[in-house]
Amino acid sequence: MERDPRLTPFFRPLHTESLFPRVWRRSVSYLQFRTLLGAGAYYLHQLPLVRWWVTIYKVCVSDVFSAAHSIRSHGGVGRYLHGHDFRVRVCASSAGLGAGNIAVDLKLLEELLREVIEKLDHRYLNEVLGVEDLSTEYIATYILSKLSSKLPEVYLVELCSTEGRYCVEVER
C-alpha cells in the first residue's frame, strides 16, 4: 500500500545535515496560514519549513469578576437568574522579544482585560451583551473577541467559576 503524500509527518529531520541533525517543523503563524490557504496550499507538505529552535513566549494574566446570567432555553436550574464569581485567565503569545526584551506587555494586557471586565462586573450579562441564552462559553468567546481585536497576540481565554466546579477554555 502506497503512503499518501498529504500525510507527511509534522516533524521531519533534515537529511543534508546528517552529522549534526536538526529538527525542522512545518510551522506558520495564523495570518501566514490564511495567506497560504488563499494561495492554494491545502496540505501540510505545502507549508514552508521553519527551524525548530524558534522560541515562543506565552504570557498569561488573571482577574476575577462577579456577574449574573441565565440560560432561558436550558432545561435545568440554569434557566433562572443566577450569579457566579468568575476567574478569567488570558494568554498572549509572541515569537520573539520586543523593546526592552519583553515578549508581551503585561501591563497593557492587564489594562485591556480590566477594561473588558469592568463592563461585565456586577451586571446582568444577558442585558449587557444582548443575548437571551448566555452560556459561560459565550462569555469566554466575547472576552476573547474583545481582547484579540485590541491586541492580536491574545490567543486564549479560560473562564472558571471560582467555586472550581467548571472551567471553559476558548482558543483562537
Structural contact between residues 68 and 83, judged by C-beta atoms closer than 8 angstroms: yes
Shared domain for 146 and 62, answered yes or no, is: yes
pLDDT at 20 over 50: no
The more confident residue out of 123 and 55 is 123
Shared domain for 105 and 23, answered yes or no, is: no
State the total domains in the chain: 2
pLDDT in tens, 39-86: 555 444 445 555 455 678 889 999 999 999 988 887 777 788 888 999
Handedness of CA 131, 135, 136, 140 (dihedral sign): negative
Shared domain for 20 and 95, answered yes or no, is: no
Using the structure block, give the residue that is written with the C-alpha cell 536538526: 22
Question: Angle 115-106-163 (CA atoms, 0-180°, nearest 5)?
Answer: 65
Domain boundary among 16, 36, 51: 51
pLDDT at 22 over 90: no
**Residue 4 CB-half CA count within 13 A:** 4
pLDDT in tens, 135-149: 899 999 999 999 999
Identify the band that residue 116 occupies on the pLDDT scale cut at 50, 70 and 90.
very high
Shared domain for 149 and 94, answered yes or no, is: yes
Query: Which pLDDT value is given to residue 166?
Result: 84
Structural contact between residues 136 and 149, judged by C-beta atoms closer than 8 angstroms: no
Query: Which pLDDT value is given to residue 47?
Result: 52
Shared domain for 118 and 140, answered yes or no, is: yes
Check which CATH number belongs to the domain holding 144 and give it: 3.30.479.10
Shared domain for 145 and 67, answered yes or no, is: yes
Shared domain for 12 and 66, answered yes or no, is: no
The domain of 29 spans 5-51
Shared domain for 36 and 64, answered yes or no, is: no
How far, in Å, CA of 156 to CA of 143, rounded?
10
Shared domain for 63 and 44, answered yes or no, is: no
pTM: 0.68
Shared domain for 80 and 113, answered yes or no, is: yes
Shared domain for 64 and 145, answered yes or no, is: yes
Shared domain for 35 and 107, answered yes or no, is: no
